[in-house]
Amino acid sequence: MKAVIMAGGKGTRIASVNAEVPKPMIAIHGKPVLQYQIECLAGQGITDIVLVIGYLGNIIEEYFEDGGAFGVQISYIREESPLGTAGALYYLRNNIFEDFLLMNGDSIFSVDMKRFQDAHLRNEGLVTILTHPNNHPYDSGIIIADKDGVVTKWLTKEETRKWYRNRVNAGLHMISPKLLERFEILAKRDLDRDVLKPLIAERNLYIYDSPEYIRDMGTPDRFYEVAEDICAGVIDDRNLSHKQKAVFLDRDGTINKYVGFLADIGDFELSDGVSEAIKLLNRQGYLVLVVTNQPVIARGEITVDELNEIHNKMETLLGNDGAYVDDIFYCPHHPAKGFKGERSEYKVECACRKPQPGMLLEAAEKYNIDLGQSWMIGDSLSDIEAGRNAGCRAVHIGRDQVAGVPTYATLLDCVEYILHK
């Protein structure tokens, strides 16, 4: 597979770090950002690389030359005048005949590209965008997709939005060569506005959602965050080719204030200290996964769409505080019958309703999780038993003690216990 890296940016917002080189050549711990990218690709067997260069491109070309010193083969597209973030793809229309990877040159990442490529090929669409949660969704473009992963809406950071799922365009794309047939003339083009967004109406744009490490370094603050993460060694650990560690969180009474069977979005309110606790887990490299029984679906008290909107509110509130969850798993079943408006298709015994471990096992399969190195936090005995049944360690949140399980009053206390074990 060929990789195309757009490396022509000036880096105006990050000029205070280094304005003497193009943005992809800004060094972190003595190594240019672009070198981190190339090494990540080479480590996964992606060695045929095209660099699109423009502003101070000679610095990039002189550093990498033909790529031989880095175990890759590099060719260059030199923009004589700026062509936007996609115009240079015109030059590839007669040179690429298989699906390829397109990425921005200003991010640090560690992504299992084989998983990404496989998902794209299954979609059979023109483009698959890698999306992920981040700690600043409020100033990021949000991608909305249906249950099949087809993009239905793309919200820019300037657009008004209330509650949304924290799923951000990560700047990595798998692209079919058929897309290049649309580049009939050489012209300045914006990748998002002119190329990708028109595919929404065609249902030809998909997402691949991943919790792996991807950080743009477009601002000084984010640059220094990435530098810290490199020192901490958390970047490669988040690649899904490696076993992951996770903290599974119950929802009601753990993340949000307990109000009984929550059916009204207006009743959802984060508990004190929850955002800070989840931020600690995010920074320490744990996957943060919500596993929640939601019998209100089976009882007919809310719809799946209404439940999703409650979860969107949860993700928005957390994102506003700089925290995020990596995924949400819920059980809609409830075997007891006799409720007005109940939905018979959900009135079944299942393997996902806690204390059964089904949701945790599903997450472990999806994200290559080492359950023995993972934790379950919840406020009920069924939460603790679900964790134990899955092979996790457990921490109880609440006032009452559970035999053999540490108990703390707040989620923040529980997380600090885990991080000091």
CA distance 213 to 169: 13
Q: Specify the residue for token string 């290049």.
A: 180
Handedness of CA 140, 167, 227, 41 (dihedral sign): negative
CA distance 321 to 317: 7
Q: Per the omega criterion (within 30 degrees of 0), is the bond before 355 cis?
A: yes
Spell out the domain ranges in the chain. Answer: 2-224, 243-419
Our separate counts of H helices and E strands in the chain read 12, 19
Q: How far apart are the first and last CA of the chain?
A: 42
Tokens standing for 138?
Answer: 């409020």
Return the pLDDT at 332.
Answer: 98
pLDDT tens, 150-174? 999 999 988 889 999 999 999 999 9
How many Å separate Cα 60 from the centre of its chain?
A: 29
Give ∠ CA 361-144-217 in degrees, rounded to 5.
85
Residue 18 pLDDT greater than 70, yes or no: no
Residue 305 annotated as catalytic: no
Mean pLDDT of 395-408: 91
Mean pLDDT of 347-373: 97
Return the pLDDT at 272.
Answer: 97
CA distance 284 to 343: 41
Return the pLDDT at 11.
Answer: 55
Tokens standing for 367?
Answer: 């994200």
For residues 373 and 401, the answer to whether their CB atoms sit within 8 Å is no
Per CATH, the homologous superfamily of domain 2-224 is Spore Coat Polysaccharide Biosynthesis Protein SpsA; Chain A (3.90.550.10)
- Cβ-based neighbours of 102, under 8 Å, separated by 6 or more: 3, 4, 6, 89, 172, 173, 174, 175
Residue 70 pLDDT greater than 90, yes or no: yes
Return the pLDDT at 17.
Answer: 64
pLDDT tens, 298-349? 999 999 999 999 999 999 999 999 999 999 999 999 998 888 889 999 999 9
* Main-chain phi, psi angles of 333, to 5 degrees: -90, 160
Using alpha carbons, select from 79, 113, 104 the residue that is nearest to residue 192: 104
Return the pLDDT at 37.
Answer: 97
pLDDT tens, 218-251? 788 888 889 999 988 889 999 999 999 999 999 9
Per CATH, the homologous superfamily of domain 243-419 is HAD superfamily/HAD-like (3.40.50.1000)
Tell me the CA distances in angstroms from 376 to 196, 245, 254, 260, one per residue in order: 39, 11, 11, 21
Angle formed by the axes of helices 274-283 and 304-320, to 10°? 80
Using alpha carbons, select from 156, 164, 144, 155 the residue that is nearest to residue 207: 144
For residues 96 and 84, the answer to whether their CB atoms sit within 8 Å is no
pLDDT tens, 20-39? 888 899 999 999 999 999 99
Tokens standing for 225?
Answer: 């965050």
Handedness of CA 315, 320, 321, 322 (dihedral sign): positive
Mean pLDDT of 198-211: 98
CA distance 375 to 386: 11
Residue 252 annotated as catalytic: yes
At position 286, the amino acid (one-letter code) is Y
- Cβ-based neighbours of 266, under 8 Å, separated by 6 or more: none
CA distance 352 to 360: 8
| Catalytic site residue from 99, 250, 379, 383 | 250
Return the pLDDT at 207.
Answer: 98
Tell me the CA distances in angstroms from 326 to 1, 165, 167, 220, 286, one per residue in order: 28, 11, 10, 25, 9
pLDDT-based confidence at residue 8 (cuts at 50, 70, 90): confident
pTM of the full structure: 0.94
Return the pLDDT at 183.
Answer: 96
pLDDT-based confidence at residue 421 (cuts at 50, 70, 90): confident
| Catalytic site residue from 216, 252, 326, 379 | 252
